[in-house]
Structure 1
Amino acid sequence: MSDSSPEVTVLYFAGASTATGTSSERVRLSSPGPQPLSSLSSLLLSLHPGAGLEHVLRTCQWSVDAEMVEDPDSVLLKGGEEVAVIPPVSGG
């Protein structure tokens, strides 16, 4: 039986890129049906255990297909999306 779970492309910026050691990766979602964006955090943490990503994800902003997301529970990932993890930016 083949795994029919959809994939998304995750883009990592700043501290998220440092924690994961990459700027992007393809991630297979945990089930074939649509999933809330908010469920992606635990999946990313399982792919990068002990990398310090938990702190970054707690304070990050998300974008899906270049649109900023206000409420990660309200956005459903169906596969094929480009999801960006954007840590807080400090200016000076």
Structure 2
Amino acid sequence: MSTDQVEISLLYFAAASTAIGLSQELVRIPAGLPLSSLGDLLVSRHPKATALRKILDGSKWSVDAEMVDDPSGLELKGGEEVAVICPVSGG
């Protein structure tokens, strides 16, 4: 993994947005960061959002409007739009 820093755009929906009080933010990450490691970085960025870990563990990821089935198989290179897709319940 490279030590270069790159920027990604994060979109938060539903419970994730409520937990951190944002609907979007720009985040600097190490180039080549596996998508599966992004949750840890976000939890460390938002320490007051105590429910964030649980929310992220139950959520899916979307990168550039494409759902990601295997977050460990995708490395973020910079410039991506990453969305936290929370589970939806309805009735």
Structure 1 runs, 4 residues or longer, greater than 4 Å off: none
Cα offsets for 1:55-75 (capped at 9, x unmatched): 100100100000000010011
Give aligned pairs, total.
88
2:27 matched to which residue of 1? 27
Local SS of the residue matching 1:89: coil
Quote the offset at 1:91 in angstroms: 1.7
1:87 matched to which residue of 2? 86
| Alpha-carbon distance in structure 2 between the residues aligned to 1:4 and 1:85 | 24
Structure 1 residues 45-84: aligned runs within 5 Å = 45-51=43-49, 52-84=51-83
Cα offsets for 1:27-61 (capped at 9, x unmatched): 000x2x31210110111001111311011001001
Query: Residue type of the partner of 2:36?
Result: S
| Alpha-carbon distance in structure 1 between the residues aligned to 2:4 and 2:57 | 29
| Alpha-carbon distance in structure 1 between the residues aligned to 2:11 and 2:22 | 9
Local SS of the residue matching 2:5: coil
| Alpha-carbon distance in structure 2 between the residues aligned to 1:50 and 1:70 | 29
| Alpha-carbon distance in structure 1 between the residues aligned to 2:19 and 2:5 | 26
Cα offsets for 1:62-91 (capped at 9, x unmatched): 000000000100111000000000110002
Identity of matched residues, %: 59
More strand by share: 2
Structure 2 spans left out of the alignment, 5+ residues: none
Structure 1 spans left out of the alignment, 5+ residues: none
TM-score (norm: length of structure 2):
0.91
| Alpha-carbon distance in structure 1 between the residues aligned to 2:48 and 2:57 | 15
